[in-house]
Amino acid sequence: MRKTWKSKGYFCLIGLVAAVTLGTLILIIGFILIRGLPGITVEFLTEKPKMMGKEGGVFPVIIGTIYVTLISIVIATPIGVAAAVYFSEYAKKGVLMHVIRFFTEVLAGIPSIIFGLFGFAFFVVFLGMGWSVLSGGLTLSMMILPTLVRSTEESLKTVPMAYREGSLSLGATKWETVVKVVLPCCGPGVLTGLILGIGRAVGETAAVMLTVGGSLVLPVSPLDSARTMAVHLYTLASEGLSDEKTYATAALLIIIVLVINSLANYISGRLTKE
């Protein structure tokens, strides 16, 4: 009887925590969407900002966000997947591996402002790239790399050893086994890490401000300065330029993140079924 009441108590506590968490999330998203959706118009999505963002739209900001995120993902994904494959399939356990894993975890916990300062000192100043999309993309790629490595490595561990042994017994090399058998089986896990990386890149502010700059001009070259949506939102909110544009930008940013996550879940589900 006592165990039954204790189990019910734990169940109620877990349910309460889940309800508070979900309720808080719904409250935040709902509040921003209610305030911001009326401001998302065709003009808002297609025009460039005017009067420092008080008027006009966010088209160059959207392109800048996509540009920076795409560069960071293109750079980080092959490096992250390759590192995860090495750690999981080739590296031998030992002191060196413990040291590498330790520094990988440390890298994941470094504040974004530190990455921003490094990116500014190394890419912007030392390499002479200036405030540019490329500088920001390279900096963000370092930030999302630990996430990609960890998620891919954990996904590789879920592939049954029998798959590897069967492939090797049929005459396939270690490399062929990894590329043609192991990696296709962990596609959903790699995709999950990729989406988490995209989410962090899209929402990053401090590191981007120090490396990409804050130009409202449409970026054409990777060496052009730009402004991402997160930086634009921070600028509008901190300087009190326009509440309408601030909430509209926040709502659009939330919608983009929700769409990306929904699309990732759909693709991950399809890959899992296949």
pLDDT, tens digit, 9 for 90 and up, residues 59-114: 899 899 989 999 999 999 999 888 888 888 887 777 777 787 788 778 878 888 89
For residue 100, count other CB atoms closer than 10 A to its CB. 15
Q: Identify whether the C-beta of residue 78 lies closer than 8 Å to the C-beta of residue 194.
A: no
Tell me the C-alpha distance between 227 and 232, whole Å. 6
Q: Identify whether the C-beta of residue 163 lies closer than 8 Å to the C-beta of residue 185.
A: yes
In this structure, which amino acid lies at residue 73? I
Residue 2 has pLDDT above 60, yes or no: no
The whole-number pLDDT of residue 149 equals 87
The whole-number pLDDT of residue 3 equals 56
**pLDDT 10s digits, 206-218:** 888 899 988 888 8
The pTM of the whole model exceeds 0.95: no
Smallest CA-to-CA distance from 63 within 46, 42, 76, 75 is with: 46
DSSP 218: P
What are the φ and ψ backbone dihedral angles of 220, each rounded to 5 degrees? -110, -50
Smallest CA-to-CA distance from 252 within 38, 69, 49, 72 is with: 38
Structural domains of the chain, ranges and CATH numbers in brackets:
22-273 (1.10.3720.10)
**pLDDT 10s digits, 228-273:** 888 888 888 887 777 888 888 899 988 888 887 787 777 767 766 6
